[in-house]
Amino acid sequence: MQLLTRLQLSLMMLLEYFIWGAWFVAMGIYLPAVLKADGAQVGIAYGNAWFGALVSPFFIGLIADRYFSAQKVLGVLHLLGAVLLWYLAQIRDIAVFPWVLLAYSCLYMPTVALTNSVAMGHTDNPERDFPTLRVLGTIGWIVAGIAVNSRSSTDFIFVLPAILSAVLGVFSFFLPDTPPKGRVAGGSVRQVIGLDALALLKDRSYATFFIGAILLCVPLSFYYAFTGDFLTASGVQNVTSVMGLLGQGSEVLFMLLLPLFLMKLGVRNILLIAIVAWVGRYLLLSIGGASLHWPLYMAVLLHGICYDFFFVTGFIYSDQKAGEQYKSSAQGLFTIATYGVGMTFGSYLGGAVADMFTVGGVRDWSGLWLVPAGIAASILILFVLTFRERKKIS
């Protein structure tokens, strides 16, 4: 890969995830503080934020892959997204906010797949080169958390990414050309949305993993929607910086260590470690609070194990189980099932649960965190009893 191309793709990844990281975590603090949102309204907003993951495979598979160069579609989506992000900063009505966010999600979520397509389309060895490009995205998320913490204006969490979305929109037209793949034979709607990969569910272990992955998105959605607000209520300073540096920092570390662990421990043990970490994370949040901060920091630090060891391993496991016949379909189905169905439903449910633990405007955070801990513990029991895959991935 030429140096100029590497620099272009690295900047693309940095900006892509900076834009997302600037508002996504901070929104859980912004909505109650500025728009006076209750738990259900926060849950709806986060559910709508994930909804774009349901439409992304349709958009990418049926439109972008067939008719337009990826970098041009990326540019148009980010320019339109910049307008909606700017508008989100002006909204003061919680009844309006989630629906504008829904529209933005349908523009932004496809860009995640598009940046991957552009990056992998210009690497000499995707297995070797892509991780070194994608890690710039995690760095962008971390820097975004620090940047929004440094400003006193709460609207900045949308204004800054709006500006950078416009910058990335323009910059995208100068990225290396990634032409459409054209109308490939057999590229049916069924393949695009991953229905062909349903045949994999005949394997009991994979079916257990697939169902567990959807269910595990429920406690994951609790973490994204409410941790920032909880840390703020507990007196933790510079919350978005803390969550970025500790959470995404650990994600980088365990992403790099994951291949070694997969070779040594195998899929089953890695997934079990991840689920145990999920249970531990929420128990730590449950015992932490204003007078006890160290469990809160430990809970955030577990993000690398919780996310990488389950979801990144899941993408790899799905890829290997599918083989060449169902490879693309399996990735599409897994994405829709987890980021689309699981995260959207989990966010809505999390909001309703948060209101159940709120009386007179006071939230029982300890009780709230025991709910996702219990869900994760139930999934752990399911895996121990029914998941038998012991293959090691090299």
What are the tens digits of pLDDT across the range 187-196? 555 555 556 6
The yes-or-no verdict on residue 166 having pLDDT over 80 is: yes
> What ranges make up the beta strands (E) of the chain?
358-359, 362-363
The per-residue pLDDT for range 138-152, each reduced to its tens digit, is: 889 888 888 887 665
Cα distance from N-terminal residue to C-terminal residue, the chain: 25
Percent of the chain whose pLDDT exceeds 70: 86
Q: What is the predicted pLDDT for the residue at 153?
A: 65
Q: Is 323 left (phi over 0), alpha (psi -120 to 50) or beta?
A: left
Residue 17 tokens, joined: 């995830």
Question: In degrees rounded to 5, what are phi and psi of residue 47?
Answer: -60, -45
Residue 108 tokens, joined: 């932004």
Q: What is the predicted pLDDT for the residue at 174?
A: 94
**Domains in the chain, please, with CATH?**
1-175 (1.20.1250.20), 193-394 (1.20.1250.20)
Q: What is the predicted pLDDT for the residue at 185?
A: 45
Which contacts qualify for 293-296: CB closer than 8 Å, 24 or more apart? 293/234, 293/235, 293/236, 296/230, 296/231, 296/234, 296/236
- The mean pLDDT value for 215-225 works out to 90
How far apart (Å, rounded) are the C-alpha atoms in residues 352 and 100? 21
Candidate from 93-102, 181-190, 222-231, 274-283 with smallest mean pLDDT: 181-190
> 26 near 231, Cβ under 8 Å?
no
> 45 near 31, Cβ under 8 Å?
yes
Percent of the chain whose pLDDT exceeds 90: 43
- Residues 352, 356, 357, 359, CA torsion sign: positive
Residue 93 tokens, joined: 């009505």
Q: What is residue 283's three-state secondary structure?
A: helix
- The mean pLDDT value for 374-393 works out to 83
Count of beta carbons in the 10 Å neighbourhood of residue 5: 15
Q: What is the predicted pLDDT for the residue at 325?
A: 59
The yes-or-no verdict on residue 332 having pLDDT over 70 is: no
> 278 near 375, Cβ under 8 Å?
no
> How many residues are given for the chain?
394
- The mean pLDDT value for 158-166 works out to 96
The yes-or-no verdict on residue 392 having pLDDT over 70 is: no
How far apart (Å, rounded) are the C-alpha atoms in residues 127 and 78? 27
On average, the pLDDT of the chain sits at 85
Q: How many helices (H) and strands (E) does the chain have?
A: 18, 2
How far apart (Å, rounded) are the C-alpha atoms in residues 244 and 248? 5
> 108 near 24, Cβ under 8 Å?
no
Residue 274 tokens, joined: 């991840």
Q: What is the predicted pLDDT for the residue at 7?
A: 92
How far apart (Å, rounded) are the C-alpha atoms in residues 30 and 363? 17
The per-residue pLDDT for range 37-71, each reduced to its tens digit, is: 998 999 999 999 988 888 776 666 566 666 788 88
Q: What is the predicted pLDDT for the residue at 65?
A: 60
The yes-or-no verdict on residue 186 having pLDDT over 60 is: no
Which amino acid, residue 23? W
Q: What is the predicted pLDDT for the residue at 264?
A: 85
Count of beta carbons in the 10 Å neighbourhood of residue 298: 15
The per-residue pLDDT for range 226-275, each reduced to its tens digit, is: 998 999 999 998 888 888 889 888 888 887 888 788 888 888 888 899 99
Q: How many CA atoms lie within 13 A of 209 on its CB side?
A: 31
Q: How far is CA 272 from CA 184, 217, 303, in A?
A: 39, 15, 15
How far apart (Å, rounded) are the C-alpha atoms in residues 274 and 212? 12
User: For the purposes of burial, counting CB atoms within 10 Å of the CB of 154, is it exposed (0-12), middle (13-18) or buried (19 or more)?
Assistant: middle
